[in-house]
């Protein structure tokens, strides 16, 4: 008991001093609304015109403690979501001279520290052509194509995790993230980011923040550790940003050799000079797969992108290209061929006033496959024009 009491005393002594004033809460929001159209070769059974919207509401607050430490919280709500996924993110943070800790359902350091192709239309997303299927669904992703869309991020799911950022020293900063379980929240409920198993739905019972999840789910990648590094420097009139990321996981159940521990890495950067921003990135991900159980599964995936944006007063416009190539593995682990995704985006935005932007653009998307299966191919154009408001 004396040992426990001494340990508790040491922990309390190490904690920051109490704040003189309580945390004050603030509210922010972003709302996007678009008119959108699509023209594609694959039959979709959908309309070719739609009105699309997306919104987020952020509650947050922070305070400075007596010893100079800063602490606070953030809660992000989704305006359009399934009832079980209304809270998009929620975390608490502590920041001091030693760095910054975040605890809760939050993005990983590797995700947030990544630099890639700049946003073309100024929507708040890295690029519209990489939106997940749960948001902008104009183009139909071919069901038999293993290349879904292109993204150069690693460890991208919003999961319950612990994140640490070092102080930035001479332009260099390092971030580490640990996620115990692979369960994430999807629009229809809780699921696993592993999409390569015999079933999409994994053992993710209860709520993601209050239930202990299963420890032997088939194909699920748990104990996710990711590293993010970026370097910022200004050289004369040129602003330089470089980044690298790495993800390592532990597979909970290999299914008799179907799966292995997953590894992924990326590099990226942006260069800004005068009114121009040039960005590019590359990612490699083995998906933690060894061989297929029956039908072909995703093997090694490579993604890359490049884009150029010009900032001209209130105008922002540019062009970007993104691609993904995925190996298809058979039941023996051999590569049958590759499925591929390519996309080009052209667009821009105009700032009407503080926080209010008009945006418009068009995207060409194409899926091709080694198999020649018509259900693995699609191509076409998507266009959108709308408004983005931030408060």
Taking only the tens place, the pLDDT of each residue in 48-78 is 888 888 889 999 999 999 889 999 999 999 8
Taking only the tens place, the pLDDT of each residue in 306-337 is 999 999 999 999 999 999 999 999 999 999 99
Whether 202 shows a pLDDT value over 50: the answer reads no
Arithmetic mean of pLDDT, 103-125: 84
Separation CA 150–CA 259 (nearest Å): 22
The backbone torsions φ and ψ at residue 191, rounded to the nearest 5 degrees and listed phi first, read -155, -175
* 251 in Cβ contact with 202 (< 8 Å): no
| Of 205, 204, 206, 161, nearest in space to 180 by CA | 161
Whether 168 shows a pLDDT value over 60: the answer reads yes
Residue 108, SS3 per DSSP:
coil
pLDDT at 186: 45
Q: Report the b/e string of 26-49 with b at 16+ CB within 10 A.
A: eeeebebebebbbebebeeeeeee
Taking only the tens place, the pLDDT of each residue in 14-23 is 455 555 577 8
What totals of helices (H) and strands (E) does the chain contain, helices first? 2, 18
pTM value is 0.86
Radius of gyration of the chain (CA): 22
Q: In the numeric block, which tokens belong to residue 100?
A: 């910054």
Contacts of 36 (CB under 8 A, 6+ apart): 49, 50, 51, 52, 136, 138, 382, 383, 384, 385, 386
Separation CA 228–CA 243 (nearest Å): 7
Burial of 278 (0-12, 13-18, 19+ CB in 10 A): middle
More confidently predicted of 178 and 42: 178
Domains and CATH numbers, the chain: 107-390 (2.40.160)
Whether 109 shows a pLDDT value over 80: the answer reads yes
Beta-strand relationship, 159-165 and 172-179: antiparallel
* 201 in Cβ contact with 217 (< 8 Å): no
Task: Provide the mean pLDDT of the chain.
Answer: 83
Taking only the tens place, the pLDDT of each residue in 327-368 is 999 999 999 999 999 999 898 999 999 999 999 988 899 999
| Of 111, 85, 76, 74, nearest in space to 246 by CA | 111
Cα 238 to Cα 233, 241, 271, 273, 276: the distances in Å are 8, 10, 7, 5, 10
The backbone torsions φ and ψ at residue 378, rounded to the nearest 5 degrees and listed phi first, read -165, 155
């Amino acid at each position: 008991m004396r040992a426990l009491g001494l340990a508790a005393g040491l922990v309390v002594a190490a904690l920051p001093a109490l704040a003189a004033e309580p945390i004050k809460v603030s509210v922010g929001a972003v709302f996007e609304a678009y008119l959108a159209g699509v023209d594609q070769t694959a039959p979709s059974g959908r309309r070719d015109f739609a009105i699309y919207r997306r919104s987020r509401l952020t509650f947050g607050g922070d305070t400075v403690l007596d010893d100079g430490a800063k602490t606070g919280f953030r809660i992000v709500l989704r305006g359009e979501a399934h009832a079980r996924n209304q809270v998009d993110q929620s975390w608490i943070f502590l920041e001091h001279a030693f760095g910054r800790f975040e605890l809760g359902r939050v993005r990983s350091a590797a995700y947030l520290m990544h630099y890639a192709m700049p946003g073309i239309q100024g929507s708040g997303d890295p690029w519209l052509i990489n939106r997940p299927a749960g948001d902008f669904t104009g183009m139909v992703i071919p069901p038999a194509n293993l290349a879904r869309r292109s993204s150069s991020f690693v460890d991208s799911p919003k999961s319950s995790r612990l994140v640490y950022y070092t102080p930035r020293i001479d332009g260099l900063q390092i971030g580490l993230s640990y996620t115990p379980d692979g369960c994430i929240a999807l629009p229809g409920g809780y699921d696993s980011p592993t999409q390569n198993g015999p079933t999409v739905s994994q053992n993710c019972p209860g709520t993601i923040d209050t239930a202990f999840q299963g420890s032997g789910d088939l194909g699920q990648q748990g104990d996710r550790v990711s590293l993010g590094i970026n370097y910022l420097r200004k050289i004369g009139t040129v602003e330089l940003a470089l980044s690298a990321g790495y993800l390592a996981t532990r597979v909970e159940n290999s299914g008799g050799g179907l799966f292995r521990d997953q590894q992924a890495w990326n590099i990226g950067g942006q260069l800004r000079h005068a009114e121009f921003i040039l960005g590019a990135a590359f990612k490699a991900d083995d998906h933690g797969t060894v061989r297929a159980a029956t039908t072909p599964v995703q093997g090694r995936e490579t993604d890359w992108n490049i884009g150029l944006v010009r900032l001209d007063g209130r105008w922002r416009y540019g062009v970007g290209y993104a691609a993904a190539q995925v190996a298809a593995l058979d039941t023996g682990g051999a590569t049958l061929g590759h499925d591929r995704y390519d996309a080009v985006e052209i667009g821009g935005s105009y700032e009407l006033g503080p926080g209010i932007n008009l945006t418009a653009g068009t995207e060409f998307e194409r899926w091709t496959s080694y198999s020649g299966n018509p259900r693995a191919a699609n191509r076409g154009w998507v266009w959108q024009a709308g408004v983005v408001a931030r408060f």
